[in-house]
């Protein structure tokens, strides 16, 4: 086994050498408007010192595993302050000291980055490649992996997920989240933003908790401020991403330029665990340390909106996240922004027991608002049209434009060829996307005298790989090198504007600098990563609003690298923004049901979610299981579940099909309602095939509150069945509610 692990490790070192020559790129952000590379790279300093950062996992079990086994506490909260836990951790400290002494003999310049004992038993070090190979062969070393670099990946969205219905059950917005603690592992939290006002909060016992000179970064709401970055710094948010995420999860009720907003769990406490630097980058070993600290500090929910490329072996961040769930914490992680291709779930979103979150559209879009001003009559779909403003332009757009005449400019050439000089003087040009870059269109109409330009999306039939989707999809244009205001709108609104001006050549339009425009909700975001995972598991688990989510922002900084707006608020998109919706929701479910385990909270959210998430804004086709798992969270349903289910989804994996094939998974059903109730178990196949059967035995269970029954779900195929994906839902009906468990299997002729 030692020889095999060493061979694997040397292969990893070869990858690291490739990274130093630019063959392995950095992680992509989980904010869809930031364009970054798509993969994560091993972290190293070989170009300057010859040192490579690596995580050395030692053979003894970590504290959390030892405590669960010795106390027989399966997936229950671990008390890291108990005398037994402290005694065992002291033994691990001796093991670490012994390892460091032996490692120093083969690596005289060995540098220790961090040490982990509670969730993972590991020491993160820096050494040369030849020294690491020798360290991997030392006694007591279980495994070595390279440190990777990850990157940072409420308004209408809060009622969209039916949060107010659960608020009412908890006593109103003034009690929603009360007593719950949500740790935000991100770029930091700016407590000067009004979303983090501590009015009405009392500091809980044992807090605040800080490190690295972060004492001034806490208040009675943000009760922890710790940083885990290199070089060492305090927990100040220098990017804005962390504040944005924290505001969505648990921002206090406050007034913003858009009106009154709040997070999903406005009365919850927040913990600032800074694991990403000013550029949004973080290293997996230090991220694991942040996870360990948040668990040890007693936070109920951990929210992580970052990631990088996933492999077929869990990395240290996934291992730590899985251990956090086993220690009794709810862990919520972004799926990633590498969609729409399959098998694009990022690490640590591949963590099996975590809740992995996809992104869907919000009920509105925040930004410039376009309205036809005349002539009457003007239909409702021609007013309050939401848009995005072109990025990178030197144009000044700080006051309402118009009313100005607008024209259907160059309908044949789409603004890509020369337009007669002076023909657009004083007008707003309306142009269709396509045929040339956005900047060319903008500059061409500007040369013809246009005051501004509205570009509407092309038909989706023109979509090509690697470009933003057409139709009623909305994104931010690259307007670098342009000098007039430019706005992008969805296709249906563009066609409506076009048809109106063709019928009314004297039509005028006004464009307000900021507002809320209507938008079709519950459409899966094109960028949202899809499953399955490289670990052959069904992910994501659920979806939540992640498009144009309005929350906190840094007031100063680099807007090209962070979430920055002088108002302190900004609407951005990404699975980063979907994830804290679920983190806040999980806190509310836990508040309502204090005895629920992380597995039960996950089930309540996943198995009650609405299946009405669609592929396009016309809402004619629903997305599949590998797109959103159980669907988009619905807190009205999640707060009233009649049973919890384990597992929350069924992954039969990738199976080689030569002859017939049969596989089984036991589904445990636990009643959480009073009385004796019958729960029927059925199957809904979304894409049935010849010879494919999915059945349950038994077909019904009779349970009292707290009682658990087991239904065995059988997946069977015959030799003639098609080799492809099969998905569907196991349907559990009882107590007046139907819950659904998504399932997935892939049959192949030959496994790689």
Taking only the tens place, the pLDDT of each residue in 277-326 is 999 999 999 999 999 999 999 999 999 999 998 999 999 999 999 999 99
Q: How far is CA 44 from CA 21, 101, 146, 285, in A?
A: 12, 23, 9, 12
Q: Which of 192, 355, 357 is nearest to 272 (CA)?
A: 192
**CA torsion, ordered 475, 479, 485, 489, to nearest 10 deg:** -20
The residues near 609 (Cβ < 8 Å, ≥ 6 apart) are 542, 543, 628, 629, 630, 631, 632, 633, 634, 637, 638
Does 17 score more than 90 pLDDT? no
CB 462 within 8 A of CB 395: no
- Can you state the angle between helices 2-20 and 129-136, rounded to 10 degrees? 160
The lowest-confidence range among 182-196, 362-376, 491-505 is: 362-376
Does the pLDDT value for residue 3 go beyond 60? no
Which range (18-32, 306-320, 613-627, 654-668) has the least confidence?
18-32
- What pLDDT is recorded for position 78? 85
Q: Is the dihedral of CA 572, 576, 580, 582 positive or negative?
A: positive
Question: What is the pairing mode between strands 737-748 and 650-656?
Answer: parallel
Q: Is the peptide bond before 641 cis (omega within 30 degrees of 0)?
A: no
For the residues of 508-550, what is the DSSP string, one character each? EEEEEEEEEEE---SBB-TTS--S--TTS-----EEEE-SSEE
φ and ψ at residue 623, rounded to 5 degrees: -75, 170
pLDDT at 465: 67
Going by C-beta distance under 8 Å and a sequence separation of 6 or more, which residues neighbour residue 394? 482, 483
Q: Is pLDDT at 557 greater than 90 in this prediction? A: no
Longest dimension (CA), the chain: 85
Mean of pLDDT values over 190-217: 97
Residue 113's SS3 state is strand
**Average model confidence (pLDDT) across the chain:** 90
Confidence band of 76 (pLDDT split at 50, 70, 90): low
Name the pLDDT band for 137 (thresholds 50, 70, 90).
very high
pLDDT at 447: 96
pLDDT at 12 over 70: no
pLDDT at 157: 67
Would you say the C-alpha torsion 696, 325, 536, 741 has a positive or negative sign? positive
Q: What is the pLDDT of residue 466?
A: 59
**Beta pairing partners, 151:** 281, 307
CA atoms within 13 A on the CB side of 108: 0
Helix (H) or strand (E) segment spanning residue 359: strand 355-360
Residue 156: the pLDDT is 58
What does the angle CA 454 – CA 460 – CA 464 come to, to the nearest 5 degrees? Answer: 100
Other Cβ atoms closer than 10 A to 280: 28
Does the pLDDT value for residue 673 go beyond 80? yes
Q: Is 692 in contact with 657 (CB distance < 8 Å)?
A: no
**What pLDDT is recorded for position 467?**
65
**pLDDT for 468:** 64
The answer on pLDDT for 376 being more than 60 is yes
Per the structure block, which two tokens stand in for 342?
């399959």
Count CB-CB contacts under 10 A for residue 529.
Answer: 32
- Please state whether beta strands 355-360 and 222-227 pair in parallel, antiparallel, or not at all (unpaired): unpaired
Mean pLDDT, rounded, for 176-194: 97
Residues 716, 695: Cα–Cα separation, whole Å: 9
Is residue 7 helix, strand or coil? helix
Burial of 121 (0-12, 13-18, 19+ CB in 10 A): buried
Is-contact 30 334, C-beta < 8 A? yes
pLDDT at 26 over 60: no
What tokens were used for 240? 């804005």
Tell whether the model's pLDDT for residue 33 goes beyond 80: no
């Amino acid at each position: 086994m030692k020889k095999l692990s060493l061979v694997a490790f040397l292969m990893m070192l070869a990858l690291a050498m490739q990274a130093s020559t630019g063959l392995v790129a950095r992680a992509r952000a989980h904010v869809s408007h930031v364009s970054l590379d798509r993969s994560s790279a091993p972290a190293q300093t070989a170009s300057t010192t010859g040192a490579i950062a690596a995580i050395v996992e030692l053979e003894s079990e970590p504290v959390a595993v030892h405590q669960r086994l010795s106390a027989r506490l399966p997936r229950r909260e671990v008390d890291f302050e108990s005398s037994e836990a402290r005694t065992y951790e002291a033994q691990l400290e001796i093991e670490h000291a012994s390892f460091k002494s032996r490692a120093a003999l083969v690596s005289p310049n060995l540098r220790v980055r961090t040490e982990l004992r509670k969730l993972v038993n590991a020491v993160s070090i820096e050494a040369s490649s030849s020294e690491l190979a020798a360290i991997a062969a030392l006694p007591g070393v279980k495994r070595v992996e390279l440190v990777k670099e990850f990157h940072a990946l409420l308004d209408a969205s809060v009622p969209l997920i039916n949060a107010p219905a659960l608020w009412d059950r908890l006593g109103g917005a003034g009690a929603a989240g009360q007593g719950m603690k949500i740790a935000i592992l991100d770029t930091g939290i700016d407590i000067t933003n009004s979303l983090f006002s501590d009015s009405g909060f009392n500091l809980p016992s044992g807090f605040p908790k800080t490190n690295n000179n972060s004492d001034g970064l806490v208040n009675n709401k943000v009760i922890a401020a710790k940083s885990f970055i290199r070089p060492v710094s305090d927990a100040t948010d220098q990017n804005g991403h962390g504040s944005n995420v924290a505001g969505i999860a648990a921002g206090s009720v406050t007034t913003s330029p858009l009106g009154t907003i709040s997070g999903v769990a406005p009365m919850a406490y927040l913990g600032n665990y800074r694991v990403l630097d000013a550029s949004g980058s973080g290293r997996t070993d230090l991220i694991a340390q942040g996870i360990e600290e948040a668990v040890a500090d007693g936070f109920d929910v951990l929210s992580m909106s970052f990631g990088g490329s996933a492999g077929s072996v869990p990395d240290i961040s996934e291992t730590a996240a899985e251990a956090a769930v086993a220690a009794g914490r709810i862990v919520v992680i972004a799926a990633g922004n590498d969609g729409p291709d399959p098998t694009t779930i990022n690490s640590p979103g591949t963590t099996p027991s975590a809740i992995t979150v996809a992104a869907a559209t919000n009920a509105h879009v925040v930004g410039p608002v376009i309205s036809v001003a005349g002539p009457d009559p003007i239909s409702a779909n021609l007013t309050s049209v939401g848009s995005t403003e072109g990025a990178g332009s030197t144009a000044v757009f700080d006051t309402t434009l118009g009313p100005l005449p607008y024209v259907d400019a160059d309908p044949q050439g789409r603004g890509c060829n020369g337009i007669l000089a002076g023909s657009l003087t004083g007008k707003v040009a309306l142009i269709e996307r396509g045929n040339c870059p956005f900047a060319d269109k903008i500059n061409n109409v500007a040369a013809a005298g246009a005051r501004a330009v509205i570009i509407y999306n092309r038909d989706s039939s023109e979509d090509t790989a690697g470009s933003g989707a057409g139709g009623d999809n909305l994104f931010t244009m690259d307007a670098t090198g342009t000098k007039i205001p430019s706005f992008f709108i969805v296709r249906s609104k563009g066609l409506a504007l076009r048809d109106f001006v063709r019928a009314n050549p004297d039509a005028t339009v006004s464009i307000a600098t900021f507002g809320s425009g209507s938008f079709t909700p519950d459409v899966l975001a094109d960028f949202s990563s899809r499953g399955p995972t490289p670990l052959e598991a069904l992910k994501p688990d659920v979806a939540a609003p992640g498009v144009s989510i309005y929350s906190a922002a840094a007031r100063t900084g680099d807007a090209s690298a962070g979430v920055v707006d002088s108002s302190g608020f900004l609407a951005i998109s990404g699975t980063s923004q979907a994830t804290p919706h679920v983190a806040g929701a999980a806190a509310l479910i836990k508040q309502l049901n204090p005895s629920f385990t992380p597995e039960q909270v996950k089930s309540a959210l996943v198995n009650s979610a609405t299946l009405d998430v669609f592929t396009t804004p016309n809402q004619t086709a629903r997305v599949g299981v590998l797109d959103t798992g159980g669907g988009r969270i619905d807190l009205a349903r999640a707060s009233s579940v009649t049973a919890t289910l384990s597992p929350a989804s069924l992954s039969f994996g990738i199976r080689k099909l030569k002859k017939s094939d049969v596989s089984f998974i036991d589904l445990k059903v636990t009643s959480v309602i009073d009385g004796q109730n019958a729960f029927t178990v059925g199957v809904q196949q979304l894409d049935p095939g010849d010879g494919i059967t999915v059945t349950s035995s038994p077909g019904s269970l009779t349970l009292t509150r707290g009682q658990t029954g087991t239904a065995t779900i059988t997946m069977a195929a015959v030799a003639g069945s098609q080799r492809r994906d099969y998905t569907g839902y196991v349907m559990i009906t009882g107590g007046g509610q139907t819950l659904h468990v998504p399932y997935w299997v892939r049959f192949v002729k030959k496994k790689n």
